[in-house]
Amino acid sequence: MASTLSDASNPAAPIILELLFFLCTACGLLSSPASSTSAQGRRFVTKLIHRDSVFSPFYNPNCTIHDRAELARTTSIARFASLTSTARNPSSLESPDYQAEVLPELSTALFMARLSFGEPPARQLVAVDTGSTLLWIQCLPCAKCFPQLEPMFDPGKSATYENIPCQDPECTDLPMHMHGCDARNKCVYSISYMDSTSSHGLLSFEQVTIGTSDDGLATIPKVVVGCANKNDQGERPRGQISGVLGLGPGPKSNAFVHKVGKKFSYCVGNMDDHSYQFSQLAMGEAARLEGDSTPMQLHRNGYLITVEGISVGAKRLNVARGAFQGGAWLRAGVMVDSGTTLTFLATEGYSALRNEVAGLMENGMIEAAVGRYGKEVCYKGVVRRDLKGFPVTTFHLAEGAELVVDIDGVFRQVEEDVFCLAVAETQEGSMIGILAQQYYNVGYDLDEGRIYFQRIDCELLVS
């Protein structure tokens, strides 16, 4: 009788079985089962690369403190202006004419991540943005494309690429101004950004490969991906990135956050430490959402929460309960944004914070710096040297949650010996920028409508 692998009389059987078990286990790590159910039950993790990090293709060792501070200021103002402008003019988004969506400047992208597309997987570097919803990358053949770090994705070489027909909900659920149909019944999309960057191409289904919490890789099948073949970076071509990972709330049929389980979080460490390597983005039903939580409202440009007041140290500032409502977001609340460095506060809240800070600085004999910084509130000194013991600033949120911000989130160094308040005044609606979110794992649960703030060293989340 011929022997089988399970035949105990075969001395090689145990070895062969162990080998097969090892191979199957390894394959399981490299690819999750090709179903959305399996995808949603896992936690997908990828490193976040800050624009000024040594790991970033944009890193320039010759940039000064002033150079980086000025870039952060100007891009924050530009992004805030574009988000509030879009919110105040909803009619422009409802026009039946085929036109491009106006989104924040692509050049303001603070964080990037690496994902792989297709089969075989092709790695791409994408900007991460909670202010937009579509995932898109540049594709071959390309009529007009900007330079990028990674080889351009070629859908013709991918076994998992497929175009989306015009009648599919993934196409029709996009806003009318964002989609159209070509002569071959393929869905086309169009997006424009405030810095004149634009992306146009075919809407497709494609497999996306991303890391998992156990250091393996998992594939997510049939992700809606814009395959861009006509793109422009405006008057200031920067190159490097391949596209955008939109994490904003959008139509359930095509928003990436819905495909991976409607939960995600990002953890951002010290942004002044350009060698810090533990900032991360986690997505999926198993994403870690812990800490203080507060209700969250979905807005087409991002996520909004209710701020009920501000304290500096133990002192609650004299600010009306509804001071942070209104403006561009109407009465919806305060936007929590990953792509804006600075925090923007409505006049009443800003004035109270500025005056309290001024009083504390005067008592501490810290001299104000005036002149080249315009309306910014600035002081002579070094944040980490001269503000030791400075009280924390606390944002009091709905249902008793708190976001406690230390000196690294309230102030920013703009010269070797000058620092400024990292908060700006606005009448257009308030926003909590990413500086104020440092040292937090910020979690979003779209199903429950809640946002979580967990104070933690991001390195502790690496597992």
Task: Give the rounded distance of the alpha carbon of 144 from its chain centre.
Answer: 26
For the sheet containing 411-415, what is the strand order?
368-369, 378-380, 418-421, 411-415
Least confident of 14-23, 172-181, 246-255, 452-461: 14-23
What is the H or E stretch that residue 75 is in? helix 65-88
Task: Give the rounded distance of the alpha carbon of 151 from its chain centre.
Answer: 23
- Digit-coded pLDDT (tens) for 126-143: 999 888 888 999 999 999
Q: Using H for helix, E for strand and C for coil, what is the string for 349-402?
A: HHHHHHHHHHHHHHHCCCCEECCCCCCCCEEECCHHHHCCCCCCEEEEEHHHCE
For strands 243-246 and 122-129, give the pairing.
Answer: parallel
Give the mean pLDDT of 381-408.
96
- What's this model's pTM, rounded to 2 decimal places? 0.85
For strands 111-117 and 217-233, give the pairing.
Answer: unpaired
Q: With bands split at pLDDT 50, 70 and 90, how would you rate the model's confidence at 43? A: confident
For strands 411-415 and 418-421, give the pairing.
Answer: antiparallel
- Identify which has the larger pLDDT, 168 or 375: 168
Q: With bands split at pLDDT 50, 70 and 90, how would you rate the model's confidence at 330? A: low
Q: Give CA–CA dist 449/399, Å, rounded.
A: 13
Q: With bands split at pLDDT 50, 70 and 90, how would you rate the model's confidence at 195? A: low
Residue identified by tokens 């289904």 is 205
| pLDDT at residue 166 is higher than 50 | yes
Give the mean pLDDT of 196-204.
86
Domains and CATH numbers, the chain: 43-84+97-280 (2.40.70.10), 289-461 (2.40.70.10)
- Identify which has the larger pLDDT, 420 or 84: 420
Query: What was the pLDDT predicted at 39?
Result: 52
Q: Give CA–CA dist 288/415, Å, rounded.
A: 37
Contact 193, 129 (CB under 8 A): no
Burial 312-332 (b: 16+ CB within 10 A, else e): beeeebebeeebbbbbbbeeb
Query: What was the pLDDT predicted at 99?
Result: 30
Query: What was the pLDDT predicted at 304?
Result: 93
Q: Give CA–CA dist 72/58, Å, rounded.
A: 14
- Digit-coded pLDDT (tens) for 303-325: 999 999 999 999 999 999 888 88
DSSP string, 252-291: TTT-HHHHTTSEEEEEE--TT-TT----EEEESTT----S
- In the three-class reduction of DSSP (H, G, I as helix; E, B as strand; rest coil), residue 109 is classed as coil
- Digit-coded pLDDT (tens) for 77-113: 888 887 887 766 654 433 332 233 444 455 557 899 9
Least confident of 32-36, 59-63, 181-185, 202-206: 32-36
Q: Hey, which residues does 405 pair with through a beta bridge?
A: 393
The residue among 415, 417, 419, 422 whose CA lies nearest residue 438 is: 422
Query: What was the pLDDT predicted at 107?
Result: 53
Give the mean pLDDT of 177-203.
84
Give the mean pLDDT of 239-267.
85
- Identify which has the larger pLDDT, 70 or 11: 70
Query: What was the pLDDT predicted at 187?
Result: 96
